[in-house]
Amino acid sequence: MINIIYSGFQTFFSVMKTFTIWDAIDIALVAFIIYKGIQLVRETRAEQLVKGLLLLVIAYNLSLWLNLKAMSFLLVTVVQFGFVAIVVLFQPELRSVLEHMGSTGMDKFRAFGFGGKETDNYTREAIDAVCSAAGMLQKNRIGALILFERNTKLGEIAKTGTLVNADVSAELVENIFYPKSPLHDGAMIIRGGRIFAAGCFLPLSQNQEISRELGTRHRAALGISESSDVLVVVVSEETGVISLVERGVIKRNLTTDTLRIALENGLLSETVSKKYGFTSGFKVFRK
């Protein structure tokens, strides 16, 4: 036992002798990438996948160590074919992770004061208009689905509806969602503080854990937020409840004031208040 500990120390010190600053940077970089990877897949369907892959790797190494030839052959084959299957099955998650990486880079760019600010005034006006419209729609039990585009472009989604290209005003938002209006069915997209399109069709979320209380309007909001960095405001026709959806997570029962703060935090390059802690850490409503 003492011999083992002694040889362990010897190996450690011989490695440390050749240890340079570049090795430290190398280790720090790998640790950072692993940490970011865990952050990206946490609380997504991919979390289970990563756990499964880790189990496979452990099982493969065990089978090599125990010299179980048939078992290690089987595991290698599973991993090889499994890789292709993973890319196909988890295409939405992989896409979302890559898009998230891209938008995180963009956020950093904005945080240093480049770009973004010139649209803040339009966005602020759009937030005011949407919050005021949400209050009216809630009062009159009129359903609404409003997307605030951020870094992920929603041009393909806009094509499923009608291009509007108008300044945002509370009256126009209310008008579009008025039940007899031709564009009331579907979602409105706000790009750069202007109404870009309305009557758009969104992909529905396939998440089985979404509460059964939530119908297709809310599922559509969750669906688009799973594959993009959009912020979605939903007003329920049935209950008048105002919700905000971001990255597959829904926050329910907002007031127009808490909605405004959440939107400001999520959309403006200089946020006004972090008081409510939105737009991150939402809890998913489960069954």
Ligand X SMILES: Nc1ncnc2c1ncn2[C@@H]1O[C@H](COP(=O)(O)OP(=O)(O)OP(=O)(O)O)[C@@H](O)[C@H]1O
What are the residues binding ligand X (CB under 6 A)? Answer: 143, 145, 185-187, 201-202, 204, 214-218, 220, 236-238
Residue with smaller CB distance to ligand X, 75 or 137? 137
CB of 286 to ligand X, least distance (A): 16
CB of 90 to ligand X, least distance (A): 22
CB of 63 to ligand X, least distance (A): 47
The DSSP element (H or E) to which 103 belongs, if any, is: helix 91-111
Residue with smaller CB distance to ligand X, 224 or 261? 224
Residue with smaller CB distance to ligand X, 167 or 238? 238
- Hey, which bits of 149-274 come out as E strands? 162-167, 187-191, 194-200, 231-235, 242-246, 249-254
CA–CA separation, 8 vs 212, rounded Å?
Answer: 57
Residue nearest to ligand X (CB): 215
CA–CA separation, 42 vs 51, rounded Å?
Answer: 11
CB of 176 to ligand X, least distance (A): 11
CA dihedral 179, 180, 183, 189 (to 10 degrees): -30
CB of 156 to ligand X, least distance (A): 13
The token pair at 218 is 């809310």
CA–CA separation, 179 vs 184, rounded Å?
Answer: 6
The answer to whether 214 touches 285, Cβ cutoff 8 Å, is yes
CA–CA separation, 228 vs 248, rounded Å?
Answer: 9
Residue with smaller CB distance to ligand X, 191 or 218? 218
Residue with smaller CB distance to ligand X, 77 or 216? 216
